[in-house]
Structure 1
Amino acid sequence: MKTLLKIILTALAVVVLAKILPGVTVIDYTTAIIVAIVISLLNMFIRPLLVFFTLPATILTLGLFLFVINAIIILLADNLVDGFEVSGFFTALLFSVLLSFFRTILFSIFKDKNQIKN
């Protein structure tokens, strides 16, 4: 249930960001849910590989290269999902930063009360 809630909240953040950012387009809510699932899967499987292979660049830039990896994940989601478009790299970079920010806020609002006690 917690995973489903996170996917729905991520889809909500994707829709809001598509309305705010001029270079991001999502055609409907179903596409936003698919984008949320694809981003979650890419973060689960592809992101660790990218982090591992770019570890020297990440260390050299003191972790700032992780923003580039997040933008690459967004561009991969753009290529995989029809109905979701990001106009370029810098738009994907801004989208990924804002998506992380919105997800953090939304997840903290809906945090499980049992986690607070522990």
Structure 2
Amino acid sequence: MRIILRLLTTALGVAAAAWLLDGIRFTGGPRQGWEEVEKNLVPLLIVAAILGIVTSFVKPVLKLLSFPLIILTLGLFLLVINALMLMLTSSLADALDIGFKVNGFWTAVGGSIVITLVTWFVDSFVDDK
């Protein structure tokens, strides 16, 4: 149950980032309303799963290797790591032909901030127990 909740909150964060930032998008034809949600729901859940897997396996290694930079920048380098995780997710989604794109590093930084804030906000209302 916890994995499903985590997947859904990450999917909400990715959806919010795609909605708020022009450089993060799901490719496909222009659609409006419920038709757009139906078209992008499966890719959104797949991207959330890829982001969760990347964050679980690659991020700890990067944090360990960049520990001196994290200390030197008082934790701000974690934004760079989160942006790199989002860019890696975009690359993997592109390789799997899912249709998720992140254009540029600064867009990835903004997207990682949005995803973090949305998941933090949703997690504050959802009880894990």
- Shared fold (TM-score, shorter chain, > 0.5): yes
Residue 108 (str. 1) matches residue 113 (str. 2):
no
Instruction: Give aligned pairs, total.
Output: 113
Deviating 4+ runs (over 4 angstroms): none
Residue ranges of structure 2 left out of the alignment (5+ in a row)? 28-39
For 1:46-85, list aligned pairs within 5 A.
Answer: 46-81=58-93, 82-85=98-101
Q: TM-score, normalised by structure 1?
A: 0.90
Shift in Å, 1:106 = 0.6
Shift in Å, 1:108 = 1.1
Identity %: 35
Query: Secondary structure of the equivalent of 1:8?
Result: helix
* Distance in 2 separating the partners of 1:12 and 1:26: 14
Contact 1:67 1:93 in 2 (8 A): yes
For 1:1-118, list aligned pairs within 5 A.
Answer: 1-27=1-27, 28-81=40-93, 82-112=98-128, 114=129
* Distance in 2 separating the partners of 1:26 and 1:105: 23
Residue ranges of structure 1 left out of the alignment (5+ in a row)? none
* Distance in 1 separating the partners of 2:67 and 2:13: 29
Q: TM-score, normalised by structure 2?
A: 0.83
